[in-house]
Every structure is written in structure tokens, then in C-alpha cells.
Amino acid sequence: MPTKKNNDDRSSGRDELRSRLRESATYPREVIAEIQRAAETGIYDIRGWGAKRKVPNFDDLLFLGASMSRYPLEGYREKCTTSVTLGTRFASKPIELKIPITVAGMSFGALSGPAKEALGRGASAAGTSTTTGDGGMTPEERENSNILVYQLLPSRYGMNPDDLRRADAIEVVVGQGAKPGGGGMLLGQKISERVAGMRDLPEGIDQRSACRHPDWTGPDDLAIKIQELREITNWEKPIYIKIGAARTYYDTALAVKAGADVVVLDGMQGGTAATQDVFIEHVGIPTLPALRQAVEALQELDMHRKVQLIVSGGIRSGADVAKALAMGADAVSVGVAALIALGDNSPQFESDYNELGSSAGFYDDWHEGLDPSGISTQDEELAARFDPVLGGRRLANYLNVLTLETQTLARANGKSHVHNLEPEDLVALTIEASAMAGVPLAGTDWIPGKNNF
Amino acid sequence: MDINYDLAVGTTRELNQKLNAAATKDADVSFRVLNPKGAHTLAVGMTSNISVDIQGHVGYYCGGMNQNAHIKVLGNAGPAVAENMMSGRVTVSGSVSHYAGASAHGGLLVVQGDSSSRCGISLKGANIVVQGSVGHMSAFMAQSGSMVVCGDAGDALGDSLYEAKLYVRGNVASLGTDCVEKTLLDEHKREIDGLLERAGVTGADASEFRRFGSARKLYNFDVDNADAY
């Protein structure tokens, strides 16, 4: 549901009036506003960002820490390593990351060239990878990213074997958490001459890319497609399969069967540059239960840690990272949080956000290309507001904080590597989170659905 | 230099490695591949202008992402032959399965038999000549490039088409959303003649073809077109 900030909320007269009025739980203001908007425009609401509804998430889990029965590691003395190797199954050149946090795929087109450059700079400074998107690989991006993952998407915009060989890993995108089953969308405002050229499209048209790949259907085909990609790249590159969280247990198992080196799992809180609001909010499952299902599938196939698992969708803090790793992920990915770190939704641009009918902290109309922070735009004047060097520095800072926080929690649980975190270190605060994450409700040994109870 | 490679004894991996190794050393190389027996991913990711003649049927993705090489299949081809081809040429003497030439950016794909459905899906600049007929949903979301069909086209030809040009000599079962017939001008006849000549097709007169292209009504969303989706 769209949340438009009412700037005049604080006016005391209205507060007094509203204290006597009763708002409908079925028809709260944002629901009424959406009905009015639909009636006025005749078209569904399109927006960026991920699901805004409240869903059980990592905040509903806690670490137990150490005490009499477990001993911790010294916070500033004893080592807690964070390195991750991805692609050990088939690739002759696996990827080595310094930290278990990667930057998710976001397209040049959705983002400005300098914003893509900043993602590369920040990820590289922090020792991790960044990812292309539905629009091909730009030279700036390749140049500024030490480790670059190249996405193979249904649209195949800009897809070519030279970039495949230039990439450090290849990510076959089957789905996205914000819209499992939906294709890409980039509206005319952002199809500049350069974006159109890279995608072989006329300038200024609304680009709605396909939701299925043009040359394979189903996991049996995909296995052969992956064989082709490996042949073209001499079996060097790790091949990831990215899925949106839906029927995660089966989808993960099928990704393994299709020959993935790495499974990337994106929960419903994962971001998008432009999708129908109804799709974002009502399709797919949250990251928390999806992660548990993916780990179960890998364990049952004896592939846990052999096929690496990257999870994304609402990763914001080191606590989220540590909890995802404890549940069995090998690494996480950040998208929306990375954009915020670059400067998206900064209060610095509050008056500009107000002019667009939004406010810092709420702005999600990334598809319109009018982003005051200069990040999700193709407008040269707006893009010039953004400094890719500074943005890269900010992203590196943010990634470093996530890493420090993750290490803090790992040491508190007595772990000398962040991958030694385990479900046994976790408890749930709510029955829902307990059932979804498969860890006991705090203070009990109860996991709903387990042991016939 | 002519080299024979027998897949009854060797492997796809070794063949592709040999093809690429030969390509980096000497462009003037002709490979003859024996006993393909429907193998997948043959001659994918070629980079230089070597010739590869495959003597028999091939499976998925033959000639995938081809750059410069001339690949000839003496038999039928499975799904997505010449997918994402960048340049060069892939010729199939028999018929091809679905997705032929999917998202191909350049080069020429010649099918001397028929093509199954979705021929030229997401086409991005390559040219396709089919001497027989093409199945349903051919040129779906095709963006640029040209497709010449000497026989018939199945249902929903050119659905959600962008700027690709479609030429069909026989019957078209039905047109897809936003695809319309357009006038065949001299420039189009010249293009057809040129492509037929390059494909080695004789006995077809350019003026017998009809031209189809995008009505461009779905380029920018209009709620009044919602029924079209």
C-alpha cells in the first residue's frame, strides 16, 4: 500500500479534530488514497523499493550469546574471519570475497552511470563483488568493480560473449523477490539515448521486458543453457542462479539440479526499480522462511556449503547479516540498503522530495527518473549531483559497519569464522518467526510444526 | 587446413576447445565434425572466422553467441540454434526446433527447412532467412533485424514487436498484438533480394513477400490499450 506522507499532520487543530474521528481499520487513509488514485488515473501504481508491508523478519530473532555453557571470543583480540569463497562446485576460478556481503544486481538504466560506478567503487574497497542488471555491462562499471557478476536476464539486453568472458561470475536471473514471475520494467522517462542504444530499443518507449528467458523453459533446459555458458567461458566462471522467494524448497533443489555453483535467493522485501505495487506487496514470501527452506533443500541434497547460498531481501544491518549466516546462508546481498548508503532518500534533498509529493525516507518513485539524489535517474543534471567517489566511500563505510557488526555478534557466540554461526545460536521472539525460521521460541524448545506439535 | 573431429570418440568440451584454439592461431581453418548425434552446445562461443561443418543432427544451442565463424549443420538442429549470435553465419540444412536465433544481435541464420515456434524471439539485429515455414509466436518481442520467411507463418506472428522487419511469402495464420502489415517498398524488396542471395535461396521473387512491422501502439502505456495485453 502506498504511504504518502501528510506533511501537515502536525498541525494541532487537525490533531485535535482527528482525536475525535474514528479511522476505519479496513479503509485506512492510505487505502482510501489508493482507491482515489486508481479512480483518477485508471492505471495501477508502479513504484520502486521492495515490499513495505510488515512481515516476520530477522528482527524477530535473537542471538543467545555465550555464558556458562558456551564461551565467547575476545572482541578486540581474537580473530573472527569473514572471507567467503563462491563457486567451488564446477568453476575453475571461484570468487574470493573478503566479506560475506555482496552488492545485488541493479541495472544501468534504472541507475545512473555514476551511481553504478559508485557501487563498484564501494564494493571493491570493501573487498566484495557488485552485479550488473537488466541493461548490460557498462565499461565504467567493469573498470571500477574488482569483482563483477554479470547477469543473464530474460530480456538479454546488451548480452554478449565478450562481456561474459570479462565477468568474474555469471548470474542467471530466474526471478526477483519483489516480483517472482514478473519481468523487468523501465519506463520511457529513463530510456535515454545511451540506455536505448545498449538495449537495442527506440528511445523514450516504455520498456517491459520478458518474464521468461527466450531460449529455455524449465530446469532441464536450464541445465543445458548453463552448459553452454560454461563452454563459452571455458568452465572458469562461477554460475549463479537467482530465484525470487516463492516455492523455495523446490526451486532451490531444481537450481542445484540445473547445475548452479551458487543459488541467490531474493525474499519479498527485496527491491526493484519499477514494478506494480500490487505485485511487490502480494507475490512471494518473506526472506526469513525462504532462507530456511533453501537451506533445508541444500542439506537434503548434501549440497549445503558445496553450492553456496546468497540471500537478499531486507538485509539492513550486521544483525541481519549474522542471523542470515546463522540460518545457513554463505553470504548476503544488499540492494536498497546500498542505494540508501550512496545517498538515496537523504534528508539533504527534503525540499526536492516534497516537490515530488514525497519526503526523505518515503521516496520510491524511482521509475520516474526524477530522483533528487541523482541515483535512480538518467537525467544528466540530476545525475551530476551525485559524486561517485564520495558515494563509493559511503558504501564502503556501510559495508564495513555491517562486517564489524557481524563479527561482533559472531564473537559473542564464540565463533572464529562468521560461517560458524548456526541455528542453535538463535531463538525467535514470535511464534510466527519461530515457525518460519525453524528456531525455537525464546525460553522454550518449541518450534511450531516440528515434532508433531 | 582441414581438420576432422569425431564426436563418437571425442567430447563436446574437447571439440569446443579445439575449435577455439584453432581460431586463435589461424583463421583459415575448416573443421568437419562427425557423429554429432544430437549433442548440445556444439561450436558455441566461436570468435574467429573459421568454418565448422557439422555432419548430422545437433541438440540445443548449436552456434550459440557465435562471433565471425561460419557454422553449417548438415541435418536438423534442436532448440535455440545460433542464440544470441553476434556475427558470422549459421546455416542449417534441415529443420530447426523452437527459439531459433533467439536474441541474436548480428550475423545471418539460414534455415533451409522449417522452423518451430518462436523463431527470432527477442531478435536484436541479426538477420534470419527460413526457406520453409515458421511456427507460432515467431519474432515475439523482436527488437531489430530482419526475418525472411519463404513459406508460411504460424499464429501470433510478431507479437509485441519493436522495430524488427518481418517478410513472409506464404500465409500468415494470425498476427500478434501490435503487429500490422505494412507496404512493401522498393527498399524492402532490395533487402529481401539481398538476404535471399546471401542465404543462397533461388526461385523466390521479392515482390511475392508481404511486410509486417510494429504498429507502435504499445510503445508507451495507454490504459485504453489494456485489452491488448
pLDDT digits (tens, 9 = 90+) for B27-44: 578 999 999 999 999 999
Burial of residue A15 (number of CB atoms within 10 Å: 0-12, 13-18, 19+): exposed
Three-state DSSP class for A219? helix
pLDDT at res. B188:
98
* Min Cα–Cα distance to chain A from B168, Å: 22
pLDDT band at B23 (very low <50, low <70, confident <90, very high): low
Does residue B93 sit at the A interface (CB-CB below 8 Å)? no
Q: Are residues A34 and A98 in the same domain?
A: no
pLDDT at res. B25:
60
Task: Provide, as residue numbers in chain A, all residues whose Cβ is less than 8 Å from the Cβ of B143.
Answer: 199-201
* Nearest CB to B122 within list A160, A164, A214: A214
Phi, psi of B4 (to 5 degrees): -100, 140
C-alpha separations of A338 from A312, A316, A372, B45 in Å: 12, 9, 17, 34
Q: Are residues A37 and A156 in the same domain?
A: no
Could you tell me whether strands A331-334 and A426-428 are parallel, antiparallel, or unpaired per DSSP bridges?
Answer: unpaired
pLDDT band at B224 (very low <50, low <70, confident <90, very high): confident
Q: Are residues A35 and A90 in the same domain?
A: no
Q: Mark out chain A residues that contact chain B at CB-CB < 8 A.
A: 41-43, 155-156, 159-161, 164, 187-188, 199-202, 204-206, 210, 214-216, 221, 224-225, 227-228, 231-235
Question: Which helix or strand (DSSP H or E) is residue A296 part of?
Answer: helix A287-300
* Nearest CB to B141 within list A206, A210, A233: A210
Sign of CA dihedral A174, A178, A179, A184: negative
Average pLDDT score over residue span A219-232: 98
Start-to-end CA distance of chain A, whole Å, equals: 35
A222 in any annotated domain: yes
Report the residue of chain B nearest A46, measured CA to CA. Answer: B221
pLDDT at res. A33:
95
Assess contact for B217 and B178: CB atoms under 8 A: yes
In the chain, the amino acid numbered B56 is G
Q: Is the pLDDT of residue A130 over 90?
A: yes
Average pLDDT score over residue span B128-147: 98
CB contact under 8 A, B79 and A215: yes
A444 in any annotated domain: no
Three-state DSSP class for A192? coil
Structural domain tally of chain A?
Answer: 2
Interface test with A, best of B15, B17, B58, B61 (most A CBs within 10 A): B61
Q: How far apart are CA A224 and CA B58, in angstroms?
A: 13
Does residue B68 sit at the A interface (CB-CB below 8 Å)? no
List the CATH number of the domain containing A98. Answer: 3.20.20.70
Q: Mind listing the pLDDT tens digit for each residue in A261-283?
A: 999 999 999 999 999 999 999 99
Lowest mean pLDDT, pick from A33-37, B121-125, B219-223: B219-223
Average pLDDT score over residue span B98-117: 98
Does residue B229 sit at the A interface (CB-CB below 8 Å)? no
Q: Are residues A35 and A181 in the same domain?
A: no
* Min Cα–Cα distance to chain A from B200, Å: 27
Q: Are residues A12 and A119 in the same domain?
A: no
Assess contact for A274 and A266: CB atoms under 8 A: no
Q: Is the pLDDT of residue A4 over 60?
A: no
User: DSSP class of residue A215?
Assistant: S
Task: Provide, as residue numbers in chain A, all residues whose Cβ is less than 8 Å from the Cβ of B11.
Answer: none
Assess contact for B46 and B71: CB atoms under 8 A: yes
Q: How far apart are CA B165 and CA B182, in angstroms?
A: 10
Q: Are residues A17 and A159 in the same domain?
A: no
Q: Is the pLDDT of residue A35 over 70?
A: yes
A442 in any annotated domain: no
Assess contact for A264 and A332: CB atoms under 8 A: no
pLDDT at res. A342:
98
- Cell digits of residue B133: 515455414
- Cell digits of residue A308: 553456496
Q: Are residues A21 and A77 in the same domain?
A: no
- Cell digits of residue B218: 504499445
CB contact under 8 A, B223 and A155: no
Q: Is the pLDDT of residue B17 over 80?
A: yes
Q: Are residues A99 and A24 in the same domain?
A: no
Q: Which residues contact A27 (CB under 8 A, 6 or more apart)?
A: none
Q: Are residues A26 and A111 in the same domain?
A: no
Q: Are residues A17 and A119 in the same domain?
A: no
* Min Cα–Cα distance to chain B from A235, Å: 9
Q: Are residues A128 and A221 in the same domain?
A: yes
Cα–Cα nearest to A118, from A360, A377, A338: A338
- Cell digits of residue A148: 563483477
Q: Which residues contact B222 (CB under 8 A, 6 or more apart)?
A: none
Cα–Cα nearest to B104, from B130, B89, B85: B85
Phi, psi of A356 (to 5 degrees): -90, 10
Describe chain A by its helix, strand, coil percentages, rounded to 5. 40, 15, 45
**Residue A113: CB atoms within 10 Å:** 20
CB contact under 8 A, A224 and B40: yes
Task: Provide, as residue numbers in chain A, all residues whose Cβ is less than 8 Å from the Cβ of B220.
Answer: 188, 204-206
CB contact under 8 A, A156 and B79: no
Cα–Cα nearest to A106, from A123, A131, A125: A131
Average pLDDT score over residue span B170-180: 97
**Residue A4: CB atoms within 10 Å:** 14
CB contact under 8 A, A216 and B12: no
Q: Are residues A78 and A177 in the same domain?
A: yes
Report the residue of chain A nearest B66, measured CA to CA. Answer: A161
pLDDT at res. A188:
84
C-alpha separations of A158 from A153, A319, B10 in Å: 10, 37, 34
Task: Provide, as residue numbers in chain A, all residues whose Cβ is less than 8 Å from the Cβ of B47.
Answer: 161
Sign of CA dihedral A427, A429, A435, A441: positive
User: DSSP class of residue A119?
Assistant: H
Q: How far apart are CA A258 and CA A81, in angstroms?
A: 32
Cα–Cα nearest to A319, from A243, A393, A429: A429
Task: Provide, as residue numbers in chain B, all residues whose Cβ is less than 8 Å from the Cβ of A224.
Answer: 40-41, 59-61
pLDDT at res. A388:
97
Question: Which helix or strand (DSSP H or E) is residue A95 part of?
Answer: strand A95-97
Does residue B103 sit at the A interface (CB-CB below 8 Å)? yes
CB contact under 8 A, B40 and A228: yes
C-alpha separations of A88 from A27, A84, A104, A366, B179 in Å: 52, 11, 20, 37, 47
In order, the DSSP letters of A310-340 are EEESS--SHHHHHHHHHTT-SEEEESHHHHH
CB contact under 8 A, A224 and B59: yes
Q: Is the pLDDT of residue B26 over 90?
A: no
Q: What angle is formed at CA A103 by the lines to CA A100 and CA A104, rounded to 5 degrees?
A: 120
A-facing residues of B in 168-187 (CB < 8 A) are: none
A452 in any annotated domain: no
Q: What percent of chain B has pLDDT over 70?
A: 97
A451 in any annotated domain: no
Supply the angle between the helices A113-126 and A388-412 in degrees, to the nearest 10. Answer: 40
Does residue B24 sit at the A interface (CB-CB below 8 Å)? no
- Cell digits of residue A432: 510466527
Lowest mean pLDDT, pick from A1-5, A64-68, A419-423: A1-5
| Domain carrying residue A250 | 58-437
Task: Provide, as residue numbers in chain B, all residues whose Cβ is less than 8 Å from the Cβ of A368.
Answer: none
Q: How far apart are CA B99 and CA B140, in angstroms?
A: 10
Q: How far apart are CA B61 and CA A38, in angstroms?
A: 45
Report the residue of chain B nearest A161, measured CA to CA. Answer: B65
Q: Is the pLDDT of residue A2 over 60?
A: no
Task: Provide, as residue numbers in chain B, all residues whose Cβ is less than 8 Å from the Cβ of A221.
Answer: 60, 79
In order, the DSSP letters of B146-181 are EEEESS-B-SSBTTT--S-EEEESS-BS-B-TTEEE
A450 in any annotated domain: no
Phi, psi of A232 (to 5 degrees): -65, -30
pLDDT at res. A25:
96
- Cell digits of residue A258: 540445473
pLDDT at res. A404:
97
Q: What percent of chain A has pLDDT over 90?
A: 86
pLDDT at res. B27:
59
To the nearest whole number, what is the mean pLDDT of chain A? 94
Q: Is the pLDDT of residue A27 over 80?
A: yes
Q: How far apart are CA B188 and CA A86, in angstroms?
A: 51
C-alpha separations of A203 from A135, A193, A207, A211, B165 in Å: 14, 6, 10, 22, 18
* Min Cα–Cα distance to chain A from B123, Å: 10
A53 in any annotated domain: no
pLDDT band at A11 (very low <50, low <70, confident <90, very high): low
Q: How far apart are CA A245 and CA A176, in angstroms?
A: 8
Average pLDDT score over residue span A203-216: 90
A50 in any annotated domain: no
Could you tell me whether strands A101-103 and B51-55 are parallel, antiparallel, or unpaired per DSSP bridges?
Answer: unpaired
pLDDT at res. A145:
97
Start-to-end CA distance of chain B, whole Å, equals: 54
Q: Mind listing the pLDDT tens digit for each residue in B37-71?
A: 999 999 999 999 999 999 999 999 999 999 999 99
Average pLDDT score over residue span A72-97: 95
Interface test with A, best of B13, B96, B122 (most A CBs within 10 A): B122
Q: Mind listing the pLDDT tens digit for each residue in A379-390?
A: 999 999 999 999
